Each structure stands twice: as C-alpha cells, then as structure tokens.
Chains A and B, each alone.
Chain A
Amino acid sequence: MDDLAAVAALNDPVRRELYRYVTSQGRPVGRNEAAEAAGVARPLAAFHLDKLVESGLLEADFARLTEKKGPGSGRPAKVYRRAPGERQVSVPPRDYRTLALVLAEVVDLLGADEVAEKAAHRIGARLGAESAATGLADLLRERGYEPYDDDGTLRLRNCPFHVLAQEQPLLVCSMNLSLCQGLLEGRGDPGPARLDPRPGECCVVFPQEDSKTNQS
C-alpha cells in the first residue's frame, strides 16, 4: 500500500483514536483494552484495528493476556502494536529528508559536531519560545517525541529523526539533546535534559516537572 493510502486510513475518527491509543502504550494492546479506551464496542474496534493492520500502520500478533496457563486459559488473544517503518505524505512533493542526510554527512566530514549542536540549541530555544504549549510534555508532543512518564522521569517513545539517527547516530543524538535543551531554555525553564539511551526509543530524558517543583 502506498503512503497516501496508508495515511488516509486514519481519516476515520474512531480508527485514529484506536491508532493513537495503541501506539501510545509502547506494548502490544488487545482488542478489549483498545475498544474500552476508544469508547466503542469490541467488534467495531476489532474491525478498525484490522483495517489499520491492512494499511500497514499497525502490526498484529497473538499473545496470552492473562497469567493463566493450561486448560481453561483460553486461546491467545490478538494484539496490536505500531508497525515499523514510516509513512510520509507531502502535497506538493517535498523531500527534506534527503537534504538533511546530505547536511548531516557534511557536518560529519567537517568534524563540525560542536557547531551543529550549538545551532540545534539555538533552533530549539526558538521553537520553545514560539510554542503555545503549556507543559513540557505538551511541547514535546508537539515536536513528535511521544513523551511518557517512567517513574518520575519523562522518557520519549519516538525518535522524530529516526532515519537520520540510523545514518549518523552520534551526530543526531547529540544534536537532538541540544535541541531539547534549547526547547527547555526557550520556554524559560532550562532543566537538565540528558542522554539515557535505550533500544527502540529516543535517547533524551527529562526530570518530571512536578519532581522539580518539589526540589525547589
């Protein structure tokens, strides 16, 4: 399926809500849970979840959702999670990704990491200052990071620069950290964003805002 058709599958509001819920959990989600979260009946949720799989936006699998084993534990349930890969639609056609790859390679060839980090910090500060988002999590959500709370630490489920981070991981992760530190500064709240890499996530983490209030 082409990117436009895949993205168009999200036009239905129920489907969009199901997609949003499943992808925000960071683990496989069953039909009952997704139906409840979207406030629709289970058969309708199942229909839309399978449409999202057909579109290539979600991936389906079977898993036991209860601890029970042996007879009476029932058959494995169908579960859903975000499919790998990314979809991009631009009308008219635009291709910022290729140019970004070229520029990242130039920075690497020049050994200009520090200059790139400073530029990322400046641009982050501008984006942070311009944003109308009230909380840090909203600001990060606006930038595509998909923040979630992990025991008092704000972690980011999504790397908005994934393709570039695969190509130039050291440069891109450092620039991303600088950009995030810039975002904090731009909203008048310079805080200790830091790198704490984990597989499959963005490397940057933040202390939670409320825990910071407690310290002051």
Chain B
Amino acid sequence: MHLAQFNVAHMRAPVDDPLLTEFVAALEPVNTLADAAPGFVWRAIANEDDPEETIVHEFGDHLLINFSIWESRETLWNFVYKSAHLAVLQRRREWFLRVAEPYTVMWWVEEGEIPSLKEGWSRLTLLREKGPTPDAFTFKEFYDPHGDRA
C-alpha cells in the first residue's frame, strides 16, 4: 500500500498577488526536491510546462491544493519536516491563514492507484466531520494499512 496525502492551504491573497510572490517562486525548487525525495511516488501537477501553475479546483476561492503519494509515513515525514521543505513551512504564516479545522489528510491507497481530487476533498471532509479514522487520518493520529493506530 502507498500513502496518499491531500492538503489545502488558505492563501492570504489571490495566487498572483505580490504577497505570494516568494511562495510561488519556491514552488519549482520545492517540487523538484519532492520529485527526487526517497519514497516519492506521485504528485498532482497542474501544468507540466509551468511549475508555478497551481491546481484548479471547485472547492473554494484562494485554496491551494497539494496532493501527493508516498511509499510510507517515514518518507513523507522526512520530506515534509526533514528537508529544505521545512524552511517553506516555517514561513507559512506569511502566505496562509491559520485555520482551526484540519487541513491535511492521509489515507492508504493501492500501489499504482491515483485517487481523484474529489476523493481527496471528501477524505478531508471525512476527517473534519468524524475525526481521525483508518479512512482519513493525520501524522499525529496515524493508522497503519491494517487500520490499527500506529
């Protein structure tokens, strides 16, 4: 099984606003880092030819979506918190609003399976409504592929 993660970030301004210039500029290097990271399997790409283009969706305005698949919890964790990606995360308050509800969700997928954006959104909704379960969970309250709390 592979681990899918879907997260939304509420931008402080439209993506082409000067406030987000440095964030948009970081997209290409950070995505390059992800693509080369151990355990990386797949990520949703808006436009193969323009690394700065963000994913178009119907879930709301100023919502930035990040959707990817990894071999394991450890490989995803090491990319998110133990690589140069951390520096981008640390500046998140400059670019994104703080939200009280969960904004990242994870779940297990069959190897080779690529879930739709819609499924990502419904997993996040499930997490928001029911809290962490084997079908929609978080790093903090993580479930293994057998549905046991890890």
Contact = CB atoms under 8 A, between A and B. Distances in A.
Shortest 9 CB-CB contacts between residues of A and residues of B: A199-B78, A169-B81, A197-B82, A199-B82, A197-B86, A111-B98, A170-B89, A197-B83, A198-B82
A33 interface: no
B44 to A, nearest CB: 23
A198 B86 CA distance: 10
Interface in B47-88: 78, 80-84, 86-87
B81 A197 contact: yes
Given A173-B90, A197-B86, A198-B82, 6 more contacts: A111-B98, A169-B81, A174-B90, A195-B90, A199-B82, A203-B86
Contacts of A197: 81-84, 86
B140 interface: yes
Contacts of A173: 81, 86, 90
Range for the number of chain B residues in contact with chain A: 10 to 19
Nearest to B81: A169
Interface of A: 111, 113, 167, 169-170, 173-174, 195, 197-200, 203
Nearest to B80: A169
Contacts of B82: 197-200, 203
A113 B80 CA distance: 18
Contacts of B93: 111, 113
A170 B90 contact: yes
Most B CB contacts (10 A, CB to CB) among A170, A197, A200 go to A197
B86 A195 contact: yes
Nearest to A177: B90
Nearest to A165: B81
Most A CB contacts (10 A, CB to CB) among B78, B84, B86 go to B86
Nearest to A172: B81
Interface in B79-137: 80-84, 86-87, 89-90, 93, 98
A167 B81 CA distance: 12
A170 B81 CA distance: 8
Contacts of A198: 82
Contacts of A170: 81, 86, 89-90
A195 B89 contact: no
Nearest to A173: B86
A13 B21 CA distance: 58
Nearest to A108: B98
